[in-house]
Amino acid sequence: MDTRRALTGIVFVLPFVIGFIAFFLYPFILSLMFSFSDVSVGASGYELTSVGLENYESALLVHESYVRTLTETVQSMLANVPAILIFSLFVAVLLNQPFRGRGVARVVFFLPVIFNCGAVLLIENYDFLTNTLTGGSAASPGSEIVTSLFYGLKLPQGVLGYIMNAVRAVPDIIKASGIQILVFLAGLQSVPESLYEASAIEGATGWETFWKVTFPIISPLIPTMIVYTVIDSFTAPNNRMMELIQNTAFRGMGYGVSSAMAWIYFVVIAAILAFVVWLVSKWVFYQE
């Protein structure tokens, strides 16, 4: 290792190292300390009094809605992530086909990333006008038709229930898929044309070509996209956990309990992420 080059490299990443320590690691450790303390803030600084596990007890046993919000957040994430991935892969395949207006379609599917996040989404859920104009059915026109269609198929109860929930969540799923669609689309365009030609000569159908050619090549993108989608859904602004933790800190039981809540949440996320990554990395096909 060339010392001069190593020094130059360190200069390049130095801003991040400083920022990481000052605005990430320090608050990270502080938050862990807060979660075990009673925090009182005054004009001359803040004081910590150790209270052991009391904050965790308050969050889990005393707070009236924390446990329910936590289970609901995790449940809706577990239901939505597979749906978002399948949906965005499907749309990417559609948008990869040549047709008129493809450029416009790509822009439209990316729009939610720009305008359907943050403060606008935060208020959307409570908007009376949206409900009146779209007939109140969670802004999902035609969902009744799809529902009756699937009832006719006589599927097992569990599968049917999942599909029903997915249909009801269609608008949310579409809006959460912008980045994933673009990444899958870029992946699809990197599939060499010669492979498609070869499979066409061999007489493969479109379905076979997708599973034998396209899917193995883009499958290395799937773990990254799963991780991205899980994180995105955990930190989405319409996620009620975000609101609950912020309200607890500034208007509720205080900084200590709020930190304990955030830590329980983080540990749950980390456990789920680790499990999902382990599971997915077992069957993904790597080209290298």
Partner 1 sequence: MAQPITETHGSDLRRRFEKSKFQGLVWAIARTLLLLGMAFIIVSPLLVKISGSFMSLEDVYDSSVGWIPRRPTLEHYRVVFQFMNYPRSLLLTTLLVTAVSLLQVISCTFIGYGLARYDFPFKGLVFGCVLFTLVVPPQLLLVPLYINFRYFGAFGMGPGVNLLNTPLPFLLMAGTGTGIKNGLFIYIMRQYFKGMPRSLEEAAHVDGAGPFRTFFSIMLPAAQAPLLVIFVLSFAWQWNDYFYTTTIFQAKNDLLVHRYLGVVQDYMLAFREEHGFDAPFEMSTMILNTASLYYIVPLLALFGFLQGRFIAGIERTGLVG
Q: Identify residues 64-103 at the interface with partner 1 (CB under 8 A).
A: 91, 94, 97, 99, 103
Cα–Cα distance measured from residue 181 to residue 187, given in angstroms and rounded to the nearest whole number: 10
Nearer to partner 1, 117 or 164 (CB): 117
Nearer to partner 1, 128 or 283 (CB): 128
Q: Which of 96, 140, 209, 219 binds partner 1 (CB under 8 A)?
A: 140
Q: Which of 49, 132, 157, 194 binds partner 1 (CB under 8 A)?
A: 132
For residue 34, give every residue at least 6 positions away whose Cβ sits within 8 Å of its Cβ, in sequence order, or none: 48, 255, 256, 259
From the list 238, 236, 245, 244, the residue with the least C-alpha distance to 31 is 245
108 near partner 1, rule: CB under 8 A: yes
Q: Based on the number of CB atoms within 10 Å of its own CB, is 220 exposed (0-12), middle (13-18) or buried (19 or more)?
A: middle
Helix (H) or strand (E) holding 38: strand 37-42
Q: Which of 62, 65, 78, 115 binds partner 1 (CB under 8 A)?
A: 115
Q: Which stretch binds partner 1 (CB under 8 A): 77-85, 159-167, 169-177, 195-203?
A: 169-177
Q: Scanning residues 265 to 284, which ones bind partner 1 (CB under 8 A)?
A: 265-266, 269-270, 273
135 near partner 1, rule: CB under 8 A: no
At residue 102, the 3 state secondary structure works out as helix
Strand partners, 46: 41
Cα–Cα distance measured from residue 243 to residue 143, given in angstroms and rounded to the nearest whole number: 29
251 near partner 1, rule: CB under 8 A: no
Residue 256 CB, nearest approach to partner 1 (Å)? 9
Residue 158 CB, nearest approach to partner 1 (Å)? 26
134 near partner 1, rule: CB under 8 A: yes
Residues binding partner 1: what is the number (CB under 8 A)?
102
205 near partner 1, rule: CB under 8 A: no
Return the DSSP state at 119.
H
String of contacts with partner 1 for each residue 176-195, x by CB under 8 A = ------xx-xxx-xx-----
Nearer to partner 1, 82 or 141 (CB): 141
Q: Which of 60, 76, 79, 116 binds partner 1 (CB under 8 A)?
A: 116
Nearer to partner 1, 62 or 133 (CB): 133
Residue 42 carries which side chain, given as an amino acid letter? G
Q: What per-residue string of b and e applies to 60-74 under the rule 16 or more CB within 10 Å gives b?
A: eeebeebeebbeebb
For residue 137, give every residue at least 6 positions away whose Cβ sits within 8 Å of its Cβ, in sequence order, or none: 143, 144
Task: Take residue 42 and report the two structure tokens written for it.
Answer: 């005054």
